[in-house]
A and B are shown apart, each in its own frame.
Chain A
Amino acid sequence: MRIYFLEFFFKTVHFLKRKIFFYKRNDLDNTNIEIILDPHNFKNYNLKLPQEYNLRQFTEKDFYGFHMLMLKVNMGFCPLSYWKNYILPGGFLVVEKVNTKKIVGAAFVAIYPNSKNDEVGTLEWLASDPDLVGLGIGPIIASNLSKRLIDDNFKKIRLGTQKHRKGVISMYKKLGWRLAEDL
C-alpha cells in the first residue's frame, strides 16, 4: 500500500509545483523527440565516478530518494508502480552519494510499453542532480544502461526527450545515439 500512497503524495507535489508555482516554463520548446541507438554506433563512456559516489542497482528502499531527485530536477512524476512491469532485470541504476546515502542520479531501461511483441527497448527517466554537473553521472548511467539494452538484442532501442534539452541530447550523441529525425 505504501508505494501507492507515496506515489499519490509525490504526484500531488509535482502537480502543485507545476500548477501553483508555475514551474513549467512555457518559453522552452517542449516538443517531444525520439532518439535512437544503433548498437554498432555505441561508444562506451569510460570515465569513472569520484570515490564518494557509488553506481549501483536501484532497490525498493531508494523509492523516496528517487522521487526527491525527480522533484529537484523538475522532470515530473515517474509512476514506478506502472513501470515495474516493464523494467528489465538489472536495468535500473542509481548513483548514490556514499556518506549521505542521497540519490543524485537515476535512470532505467525497459521494454517500451507501446511496442508490439516487446521488440523495442527504451531508456527512461535519466536524471542527475543539477548541483553535480560535470561529474559524469548522467553519461555513466546512460552508458551502462545503453549496454544493458544492447545485451537484450532489441530490434529498436529508443528514448524520448524534449527538444529544449540540448545538453542531454548532445550527451546521448556522444554515446552514439542519433535523433530519429536525422535518420
Chain B
Amino acid sequence: MQKKTILISVPFPRNIRHSLSRPFINELKKYGNIVVVSPFKFSNEDIEYLNLKNEKIVYMDINETSFSKILFKISDFARRAGYFGKHKKYGLPYYFNNLISDFNISGYFEKLPSLYKYIFIILSLVFRKRFVWLSLERLFFYLINFKSDALNEIKDLEDVIYFQSSNWGMQDRLLSHISSKKSWKSVMIPYTSDQIHCTGYLLIDHDCYAVQSEFEKKLAMELHNIEEKKIVVIGSIWHRNIEHFIKLNKDRIKYKDKKNILYAGVTSLYFPRITEIKSVKIIAEHFPEYNVNYCPYVNNNEFKKIRENLYSYRNVNLIPHSPSMTEVKTEEAISFYEDMKAHIEKIMDTDIFVMSYLTSLGTEANFLSKCPLIANFIDEYEILKNRNTENFPKDMLGDQLKIATSYNDLIICIENAMEDNEKDLSLQPYMYWDSEVNLDNEISKIMLSI
C-alpha cells in the first residue's frame, strides 16, 4: 500500500519547536512520508537533531510582486475585520480597535486616519460571513498565479494530509488554497491559542482540529462553529517537545541553584522599555535574595545598552532571547538545538515569573516550573490606556494570573506569590494551552479517522 504524504507547514522559525517536535514527528512517521515545507533553510545539525535526515524538505519561495502583496493585504484585512467585527466576546473588540491603529514607541497619534476606520467598518460588515471572504481570497489566487519549482513539487504530491499550525502568513494561505483545490485532507495543529482566538477567520475548513486544550476546543466551537466531533484535544506538542528534550539532555542542561525571578520583556512597541527596565530595577532592589533573570526582547545593540544600564544591579542577569523560539523571520543563521537548550535553561527552575504585557513564555515557564505568573501592565505614560488595553483579554491564562498596574502593586504581587505556593494544578495557566492526554494515542485516533 502506498504511504500517505504528510505535509507539515513550518512558515516561521518559531513554529519549528512545535510542528517539528520530535515526539510528534516520530509518531506521524508511522502513518506516512513526511514533507516539510518552509521558507528558510535548516542547518545540517538541526536536520540531524530534528531527525529529518530521511525526510523531504521543500524550500518554499513565494514570488510576491508589489501588486500581489497589496491584493493579499486587502484580503487579510477583510478576513480580520469581518471576524473581529462579528465577535464581541473573548476581547475581540480590542483587536478590532487595533486594526485601525499603528503602534509606535511614543504612543502618540497611533490611530489611523478616519478614512481607514470607515473602510474597516465597511469591511467588517461586508465580510461578516466567512464565505464572502473565502470567495475574495480565491478570486485573488485566481488572478495571481504563483509559480515556482517548489510549488510544482508540492502540487504534484499525492494522497496528502496537510498539517497547518499557523492561521496567518502567505505560506499557509497559499498551501490552504492548494489544499482546497487538490482536496487534500487537512489537520489544524494550532501552535498557540491565538491561532484560533485572534488571527481572523480560519484559512480553510480542516478535517480535524487537533487543539491543545479544552479551552481551545471551546474557542474553536464558539468562535468558528466547528463541530465537536471534528475537534481532538491532543495537548501541547511544544510542551511534549520540552519534556523529550529534557529527557535526552538531562546532563547538558544547566540548572539554577539560587532562588530566582524571571522577567520576560516584550517589544517596545507593546510596552515602554523605560517602564520595563525600571520594573526590573525595583524588583532587584526589593528582593536582593533573588536572582532576577531579565530577558529583554531586543536586538544585540540594545542588549548591550541595557547591560550597561543595569550594570550596578548585581542580582540581575541579562539573558538574550533565542531567535528560533520567538521569531517570525530571521536574517541570522539559527541553531535550533542551541536555542532550545538556552530557552529551556531560561525558564527552568523559575520561582516567580513576571512579564511585561503578556507573552507565551509565561505558559512555558509555568508548565516547567509551576511558577506563579505576574503580568506587568504599569502604564506611567498612558500609552496602554490610549490603546484601550482595558478591553484586552487578560483572562486568557486563567484567574491565577496576577496583573500589576503600579510599581507598588508589582512588589505586592511578587510578595504574595512568594507566600502562596499551594496551587491547584488543574487551574494552572499552562493548562489553558495543554492537556493531560497521551499525544501518541490522540495522533493515532486522528490519523485513523481521516
Interface residues of A (CB under 8 A from B): 1-4, 57-58, 60, 80-81, 83-92, 110-111, 117-119, 151-155
Is B85 an interface position by the 8 A CB rule? no
Whether A153 contacts B308 in the complex (CB less than 8 A), given A1-B113, A90-B274, A118-B301, comes out as yes
**Interchain nearest-CB distance for B226 vs A (Å):** 40
Instruction: Give the complex CA separation of A128 and B109 in angstroms.
Output: 23
Residues on B with C-beta less than 8 A from A89 are 105-107, 272-275, 380-381, 383
* A90 near B305: Cβ-Cβ < 8 Å: no
Mind listing 28 A-B residue pairs with CB under 8 Å?
A1-B114, A4-B113, A57-B381, A57-B382, A60-B108, A80-B108, A81-B109, A85-B104, A85-B105, A86-B106, A87-B106, A88-B105, A89-B106, A89-B272, A89-B275, A89-B380, A90-B272, A90-B274, A90-B380, A117-B299, A117-B301, A118-B301, A151-B274, A152-B274, A153-B305, A153-B306, A153-B308, A153-B309
- A92 and B305 contact, CB distance less than 8 A: no
B383 contacts which chain A residues (CB < 8 A)?
Answer: 89
- Among the listed A60, A91, A119, which residue makes an inter-chain contact with B109, where contact means beta carbons less than 8 Å apart? A60
Provide the bound-state CA to CA distance between A91 and B106, in Å.
8
Q: Decide: A118 and B302 in contact? CB cutoff 8 A.
A: yes
A88→B305 contact, CB < 8 A: no
**8 new A-B contacts at CB < 8 Å, known A80-B109, A111-B105:** A4-B113, A89-B272, A89-B274, A90-B274, A119-B301, A119-B305, A153-B305, A154-B305
Least CB distance from B124 to A in Å reads 19
The reply on B143 being an interface residue by CB < 8 A is no
Nearest-neighbour CB distance to chain B for A173, whole angstroms, equals: 26
Cβ of B248 within 8 Å of any chain A Cβ, yes or no, is no
CA distance A60 to B106 in the complex (A): 11
List the A side residues contacting B299 at CB < 8 Å: 117
Cα A60 to Cα B104 in complex, Å, equals 14
In the assembly, what is the distance between CA of A117 and CA of B302, in Å? 8
Which A residues lie within 8 Å of B107 (CB)?
89
**What residues on B are CB-neighbors of A57 within 8 Å?**
381-382
- A56 to chain B minimum Cβ distance, whole angstroms, is 11
In the complex, chain A residues whose CB is within 8 Å of the CB of B309: 152-153
| B109 in contact with A84 (CB, 8 Å) | yes
- The distance in angstroms between the C-alpha atoms of A89 and B276, with both chains bound, is 12
Q: Mark B401-429, 1 if CB is under 8 A from A, else 0.
A: 00000000000000000000000000000
CA distance A85 to B269 in the complex (A): 10
CA distance A5 to B357 in the complex (A): 34
Chain A residues positioned under 8 Å from B380 (CB to CB): 89-90
Minimum CB–CB distance from B54 to chain A (whole Å) comes to 43
Cβ-closest chain A residue relative to B105: A89
Nearest CB in chain B: distance from A112 CB, A: 14
Q: How far is the CB of B361 from chain A (nearest CB, A)?
A: 22
Chain B 250-283: CB-based contact to A (< 8 A → 1; otherwise 0): 0000000000000000000000111100000000
Minimum C-beta distance from A143 to chain B (A)? 18
Q: What residues of B have a CB within 8 angstroms of the CB of A60 in the complex? A: 108-109
B106 contacts A85, C-beta separation under 8 Å? yes
From B107, B108, B110, B115, residue with most partner A Cβ within 10 Å: B108
In the assembled complex, the Cα of A151 lies from the Cα of B383 at a distance in Å of 19
With the chains together, A89 CA to B270 CA distance in Å?
11
Residue of A nearest to B274 (CB): A89
- Docked complex Cα distance between A110 and B105 (Å): 10
B108-131 Cβ-contact flags toward A at 8 Å (1 or 0): 111001110000000000000000
Closest residue of chain A to B308, judged by CB? A153
Alpha-carbon separation in the docked complex, A152 to B278 (Å):
10
Tell whether, in the assembled complex, residue A90 and residue B104 are in contact, meaning their CB atoms are under 8 Å apart: no
Chain B residues near A83 (CB-CB < 8 A): 106
Known contacts being A3-B109, A118-B301, is A88 close to B308, with CB within 8 Å? no
Residues in A whose Cβ lies below 8 Å from that of B308: 153
